[in-house]
Copies of this chain bind each other. A is one copy, B any other.
Amino acid sequence: MKNTPIVYHPIGIIHSEHVVAEHTPIQPIFARGCKGRAEIYPQFAEGLQDLEGFSHLYLVYHFDRAGPAKLLVKPFLQDVVHGVFATRAPYRPNPIGLSIVELVRREENVLFLDGVDILDGTPLLDIKPYTARFDRIDTTRNGWQDEVDEEAAQKRGRRGYGSK
């Protein structure tokens, strides 16, 4: 069994208006209007060239406040237990977060974002351009997610955001 530890270092930090996990929307689609910034450390800034041509980005980040991993979880959107890998819950063996956010503009090493569902101060590991050719899958089966109707999803997914 290959189990060599893998070591990464943050390339930057995510700033957002979310400071309490329990009130943070669970996905960007429930966080429209939530502005935020990704500040890339200066030594990596050159790697951002031409990123501004893309309207949407994947942010890959470290859930630094997730707590211990659980293999079975009850997701935010449904009161049914599922394997953690069948959910996007943060309590994962490797607590890696993945969000598709909107890139509003770039100012040198700072990305101004919308749809930010990420806690303030979260370490950023990687950025990838969302590319329709690769990432938009038109026909999918979505497991237990297909059982959650849109109204319930919006209500539970926002976790209070927007009702203030």
Contact = CB atoms under 8 A, between A and B. Distances in A.
B85 A128 contact: yes
A163 interface: no
Contacts of A10: 2-4, 6
A67 interface: no
13 contacts: A2-B123, A6-B9, A11-B93, A44-B71, A46-B83, A47-B84, A50-B143, A53-B143, A88-B129, A88-B134, A96-B125, A132-B140, A136-B136
B129 A54 contact: no
B54 A72 contact: no
Given A29-B134, A44-B71, A133-B145, 17 more contacts: A2-B121, A6-B123, A6-B125, A11-B93, A27-B134, A29-B133, A47-B93, A48-B83, A53-B86, A60-B94, A85-B127, A85-B129, A93-B126, A96-B96, A96-B125, A130-B140, A132-B142
Contacts of A28: 134
B54 A140 contact: yes
Contacts of A144: 50, 53
A158 interface: no
Question: For the complex, would chain A's binding face be called helix, strand, loop or mixed by DSSP majority?
Answer: mixed
- Copies of the chain in the assembly: 2
A99 B96 CA distance: 15
Contacts of A5: 7-9
Interface of A: 1-11, 13, 27-29, 41, 44, 46-56, 58, 60, 62, 71-72, 81-88, 92-94, 96, 98, 100, 121, 123, 125-146, 153
A145 B131 contact: yes
